[in-house]
Structure 1
Amino acid sequence: MNHMLKSGLIGLACLFSFNTLADNYTIGTGSQSGTYYPLGGILAKIWSEKIDNFDMRAEVTAASVENTIKVSSKKQLAGIAMGNVVLQAAEGTKPFPRKMDVAPLFALYPNVVQFIVRADSDIHSIQDLKGKKISLGAPGSGTRVSSTNILASLGITDDDIKAQSLNYTATTNAIAAGQIDAGAIVGSIGVGAITELAFTQDIRILSFTPEELEKVSADNASYQAIDVPAESYKGVNEFNAPAVWNILVVNKNMDEDLAYQMTKVAFENMDEINQIISVTKFTTLENMDKLDGVPLHPGAMKYLKEQM
């Protein structure tokens, strides 16, 4: 083969290979038993179908903290994370060692802090958790950050409990087996792990008192009180709990046009997303900028201003 032609073909192959890699992206989600994973999957599918030269897949991760770090370090194009975690990342406060390059693309839906116990448990209040064996969530997860922060704001530290570090599925399995006394899951109402547990076990979800909710909100500005009606899970009582918005987070230095396209395509196809992930009924233009303290990515803000 002509040397010049051969060199040209090799160069073209390398360029094609680079572009193929450059256009393959991931969105960080959470465990497969939570809401993040299927939501990330449908977003990835829609973006891949509707944006030219764009291919994305959902990646199982430890959720909020891991996703935020990977987005900041450009190991993921996007990630789903709790708003309080994104705020801590932007500010460079624990568990982050420094300020992270993050920006919200848009707010998704509120996550509710749910402390689960078996129905026959002697734990009836948040204060009753003292001295008990409790799963606070997997390391690197928003559940772990949120449950620890909330208990601390109510005067309950790791020294007061026997803390376990389990993901959603391991938490509910351990509750069912009587291996732990309580477990925290910070997720949407109707999250799969609790829904499945409620079908096989009689459980309760602890209710926060008005005074506790006020204290949590005072110490953690990202949280707001929410009333959850009875039978949101099979046989489960009405309860009151703090809630924090989930955020679709990207690197703040992401290309503005790509951020604009991703936002535009997501909202233009929100009806399809709603049919699969019902909690995205909260994913509206009015709720896009729910996270105080961290500005929307300029590409997302451009789309929002166009719609106003």
Structure 2
Amino acid sequence: MFRYLAIAGATAAALMAAPLAEAQQNNISLLSGPFGTGTYVLSSAAEQIVSSQSETVRLTASETPGLVYNAKRMNKSPEMKENNIMAFTTGVDYLARTGQGPFEEKLPGIQLIGNYLLGSVWLATFDPDIKTIKDLEGKTIALGRPPQILWTIEPMQLLETGLGAADTMKIERLGTKQAAQALLNGSVDAAIIGGYADPISGTFKPSPQTVELMASGKQLYHIPWGKEAVQNVVDAGGAMNHLVVPAGAVEGLDQDLESFFDAIAWVAYPEFDEEAAYEITRLIIENVGSFGEYHALGQLMSPESLASGWSVEDIHPGALRAYREAGLIE
């Protein structure tokens, strides 16, 4: 009888303890991006890595229409900032903080959890006589769609603020794939190309439309923005960073190319729980080599690139503690 009561008591205690342990787990949501994108896949990878290894955090990634939506959603419901992180870029953050389109008002700045991609783009042509931006005077170039940060808005910042050359050429905003097709069929003189980089190792993976151009059988010539143009945008408040794409990184690139990168990252607002930020960042650092198993772009992730391009004051305090413990930031 007493043995039965002891077992029953132990069972009841276990049943009571289970919900308590579960209640102590911090449930965090990650607003990612459209289904099928690198952002969506790598965010799903972060969910699996963190949730399978953490005793204190359960991370759940969800599909969203895009990065602009993420910021608008979070600021429409400020209480989300306490237990949500999101996919974002430094370029989008600049537009949000300054209240430029597609944002209707100025929004608070964000803080870094960890980079997962570093995007870089530039102009390319099949015309061997076009070697610099100045050679494009009177010619037609094709960019991405108007709302695209990396493929349109930041190149326009370089052409306008960085080089003062936007008025000297005809600029068509067609879309990334459409821009490549326009260059192939000869309806434009140059088009935006690029991809994603690990600035630490110099590894570069071209975007799909860049691969299409390289596979055309035509000689592709690459046009640098120039270090001064990038710095002019930075000095004017732009959020881009200097990047040198090394010779040989893509076909036809026979010398180092001065470009820029936009940090594409998981970020949080200052209200986000510090311990959760620490735990998520710690596990991303420890498992950074596993992201390549989920998506080819994950192969560009390295411990050193996770905070590349960010100043210490723009890193979430919890994430900063994890980076310092790992010896990645002083």
The TM-score with structure 2 as length reference comes to 0.68
The yes-or-no answer on 1:155 pairing with 2:164 is: yes
d(CA) in 2 for partners of 1:54, 1:29:
15
Post-superposition Cα deviations, 1:132-189, rounded to whole Å, max 9, x if no partner, equal: 33333333322222111111121123x5443333443333233333343333346413
> CA RMSD for the aligned pairs?
3.6
Could you tell me which residue of structure 2 aligns to residue 10 of structure 1?
none
Q: Secondary structure at the match of 1:81?
A: strand
- Between the aligned partners of 1:138 and 1:298, the Cα distance in structure 2 is 36
Q: Does 1:181 align with 2:189?
A: yes
User: Is 1:47 paired with 2:50?
Assistant: yes
Structure 1: unaligned runs, 5 residues or longer: 1-18
> Structure 1: which 4+ aligned runs deviate by more than 6 Å?
none
Kindly report which structure 2 residues correspond to 1:19-98, keeping only aligned pairs within 5 A, or say none: 25-29=29-33, 35-51=38-54, 53-59=58-64, 61=66, 63=67, 65-73=68-76, 77-89=84-96, 91-95=97-101, 96=103, 97-98=105-106
CA offsets per residue over residues 91-147 of structure 1, 9 Å max, x none?
A: 334234212352221344543232122x23653311233443333333332222211
What amino acid sits opposite 2:319 in the alignment? A
1:190 partnered with 2:208: no
Residue number in structure 1 paired with 2:4: none
Quote how far apart the aligned CAs of 1:82 are: 3.1
Give the Cα–Cα distance (whole angstroms) in 1 for the partners of residues 42 and 213 of structure 2: 21
SS state of the match for residue 265, structure 2? strand
1:212-250 CA distance string (max 9 Å, x none): 455444445644433323331233443222334333222
User: Does structure 1 conserve the Cα–Cα contact (< 8 Å) formed by 2:40 and 2:63?
Assistant: yes
Deviation at 1:196, TM superposition (A): 3.6
In structure 2, C-alpha distance between the alignment counterparts of 1:218 and 1:265, rounded to whole Å: 35
Partner of 1:13: none
Q: Name the structure 1 match of 2:9.
A: none
Name the SS of the counterpart of 1:260 in structure 2. helix
Aligned to 2:14: none
Distance of 2:71 and 2:222 partners within structure 1: 29
Task: Give, in whole Å, the separation in 2 of the partners of 1:56 and 1:39.
Answer: 10
1:171 to 170, 179, 187: 179
Amino acid at match of 1:137: G
Task: Count residues with an aligned counterpart.
Answer: 280
Change (3 A) 1:174 1:48: farther
Amino acid across the alignment from 1:99: L
Distance (Å, rounded) in 1 between the aligned partners of 2:133 and 2:124: 11
Contact 1:114–1:185 (8 Å) recurs in 2:
yes
C-alpha deviation, 1:270, in angstroms: 0.8
Identify the residue that residue 111 of structure 2 maps to in structure 1: 103
| Partner Cα distance (1:37, 1:54) in 2 | 14
The one-letter code matched in structure 2 to 1:155 is G
Gapped runs of 5+ residues in structure 2? 1-22, 197-203
When residues 93 and 221 of structure 1 are mapped into structure 2, their CA distance, relative to the original with a 3 A threshold, is same
Structure-1 separation of matches of 2:279 and 2:318:
8
